[in-house]
Structure 1
């Protein structure tokens, strides 16, 4: 109903004018014993939001004038001087104008932000599309090179080919994620949920990231139930979240540390996934800030490079699944990131 008021300038003007007339009539009808003066703000606010500054200033003046008429006719006999009614009207006019200007600036700022967000999303979409084209060419080149050297590769060379293929898949997944992020901001994002074997999804991420952990002599442990737990999710999106959490754990865990990746069923048909490291930890004051985007703790900046955007994107994608990415941590005692997703086929 409220959105309908601002569907067009004509409708906004009509609603503001009708409300102003009704409020003025009500103000006169109830007299000075019942205060309805604050309701004059309603047509002023509607005009400021739906019509612009100039019409809003007109409604502010009209509201103050009608208030003066009622005040003078009904209250002048109670004032010690007739000019008091005019003084009150002037104060009310200043107040109405202030409200109109403030709402107009707020609306203008919101529209500007929406335009910037749209431009940003279009740029991300364009860059993601171009990167995807380059990735297709890179994949073709690697495949051709692999075919040319088939039968003549030693074990180490074959391992390098596997690393290249896995890196290509991860980059392609990241590009798709940024594209989905742009769609999420413009309301065009759509999840492709399906039954997913979560353990397999995690192991695919570990195939690539385990080399980073090995270089730092970090022990990667998995704690999964023996029975497969099928999860209802978009596997490509959640795979990026999982990879980002594991990658962060490796970055901020010192050499010789430990990372535990676990999945356990909880109540109400949910399964909780978590990544717990023995790294630098996060202070209580920074726990929420790390999800705001482009925010990094002071110790985090000293420990490893990064942009601070990954956790925000990860939380946004988890929230798109109806859940929430959370963190538990103490400085110097590591951090645990976790979220829950519905178990596929669960019935209460």
Structure 2
């Protein structure tokens, strides 16, 4: 890191009077008398610092009984602090602060000499260090404020861009998807060449994929901006899972994957935003199918805990996730490396959106996984969101008694 001059010890140097070792104590005392703010005087011999003469030490020595008569005519070398701390001017203030705090605490009281190589520069004190620290804190606060202002402006620009992209990209994409679907259905006549049908299918699937990517990015931007609104209502989880199962049947069938649903008939309703929870379960099941090999099983189970929480688990027999990546997969745009993983399309936003939607519902997301052993993801909704009907509550009480 390149240091600015303001970050170096050199700025702490105070220009104080310089005397020789033979200067009398009386002369040095007069220097202190002439400048009430002067705390120390540097003693140089042949241009090299050999010590510091301190106001307090000299005053106490001269004020002692017979002190003036003993020391007034003697050279100042008899009362100086020998072997003072000498710091190179090119060192950083942080380096000096650490040294003073742990290795040379005495220099905070006595001061220290600053040199540039062999050249004497001046004297540093605890006061000059404090003043420099205050100034650096002020400058850093200004820099942080500037960075915050820039970040706010960048966020506004991003929001404006995303709002524009919402219209400029979604509108033509919807047109592409709509017209290709009409061609697929041969609404105005049959398609003579089978190659054209294949091309239309590719255009349609590519358009849908791109639209899903755009929707995911826009949803994530709303979540990060805190503008995602919930429309809560009582939702029948049994029916919702049934809808999702039907939606994912085709994707599972392409890989000969079995969807195994375990749903009690007396499952209580959930107070939630059904659109968000539908997207949560779609993302979880879609990921389970995507990262599972052919001829395996993806299972979805629901259960009620003793404390009234509703748990929904999605388990697959796929590639799994390493322990070090379990937390990382919840971060936006993160994608696990691996042959099967990298061959799949996606933005890396699926689980991060799931996590954000669940946090809005005060729900918890737990991931249990091991490489090559599949993944089990459990969503736990708090009891406060469970709408317990009389029939469901009786079932829960009976189950609790049976245990």
Q: TM-score, normalised by structure 1?
A: 0.63
Matched, 1:344 2:383: no
- Does the aligned pair in 2 maintain the 1:293–1:309 contact within 8 Å? yes
Matched, 1:279 2:256: no
Point out the structure with the larger helix share. Answer: 1
* Distance (Å, rounded) in 1 between the aligned partners of 2:305 and 2:207: 35
* Distance (Å, rounded) in 1 between the aligned partners of 2:372 and 2:279: 27
Offset from partner CA, 1:54-77 (integer Å, 9 cap, x none) = xxxxxxx9xxxxxxxxxx89x999
Relative to 1, partners in 2 of residues 1:298 and 1:135: Cα closer, same or farther, differing over 3 Å? Answer: closer
| Corresponding residue of 1:183 | 222
* Distance (Å, rounded) in 1 between the aligned partners of 2:377 and 2:388: 26
* Distance (Å, rounded) in 1 between the aligned partners of 2:368 and 2:292: 15
Question: Aligned with 2:302: secondary structure?
Answer: strand
Matched, 1:313 2:353: yes
Distance apart, 1:145 and its partner CA: 9.2
| Corresponding residue of 1:105 | 143
Relative to 1, partners in 2 of residues 1:290 and 1:108: Cα closer, same or farther, differing over 3 Å? Answer: farther
- Does the aligned pair in 2 maintain the 1:199–1:228 contact within 8 Å? yes
- Does the aligned pair in 2 maintain the 1:128–1:178 contact within 8 Å? no
Matched, 1:203 2:246: no
Offset from partner CA, 1:193-231 (integer Å, 9 cap, x none) = 111112222232232322121111111111111224211
Distance apart, 1:260 and its partner CA: 0.5
- Does the aligned pair in 1 maintain the 2:213–2:347 contact within 8 Å? no
Structure number with bigger Rg? 2
Q: Which of 89, 94, 100 is the matching residue for 2:127?
A: 89
Offset from partner CA, 1:287-323 (integer Å, 9 cap, x none) = 1011111212222644523221211111111111112
Relative to 1, partners in 2 of residues 1:126 and 1:268: Cα closer, same or farther, differing over 3 Å? Answer: farther
Gaps of 5+ in 1: 1-60, 62-71, 150-166
Q: Which of 252, 260, 264 is the matching residue for 2:291?
A: 252
* Distance (Å, rounded) in 2 between the aligned partners of 1:204 and 1:275: 16
Relative to 1, partners in 2 of residues 1:117 and 1:344: Cα closer, same or farther, differing over 3 Å? Answer: farther
Greater shift, 240-249 or 205-214, is seen at 205-214
Gaps of 5+ in 2: 1-11, 13-35, 41-53, 60-108, 112-123, 189-205, 394-403
* Distance (Å, rounded) in 2 between the aligned partners of 1:221 and 1:323: 24
| Corresponding residue of 1:215 | 254
Distance apart, 1:331 and its partner CA: 1.1
| Corresponding residue of 1:128 | 166
Matched, 1:265 2:242: no
Relative to 1, partners in 2 of residues 1:114 and 1:289: Cα closer, same or farther, differing over 3 Å? Answer: farther
Greater shift, 256-265 or 177-186, is seen at 177-186
Runs ≥4 in structure 1, deviation > 4 angstroms? 75-79, 81-86, 134-149, 167-180, 345-348
Question: Aligned with 1:187: secondary structure?
Answer: coil
Q: For this pair of structures, how many residues does the alignment match?
A: 264
- Does the aligned pair in 1 maintain the 2:268–2:388 contact within 8 Å? no
Relative to 1, partners in 2 of residues 1:106 and 1:78: Cα closer, same or farther, differing over 3 Å? Answer: same
Relative to 1, partners in 2 of residues 1:303 and 1:119: Cα closer, same or farther, differing over 3 Å? Answer: same
| Corresponding residue of 2:155 | 117
Q: TM-score, normalised by structure 2?
A: 0.55
- Does the aligned pair in 1 maintain the 2:235–2:269 contact within 8 Å? yes
* Distance (Å, rounded) in 1 between the aligned partners of 2:176 and 2:244: 20
- Give the alignment's Cα RMSD to 1 decimal: 4.0
Distance apart, 1:238 and its partner CA: 1.5
| Corresponding residue of 1:323 | 363
Point out the structure with the larger strand share. Answer: 2
* Distance (Å, rounded) in 1 between the aligned partners of 2:210 and 2:283: 12
Relative to 1, partners in 2 of residues 1:80 and 1:331: Cα closer, same or farther, differing over 3 Å? Answer: farther
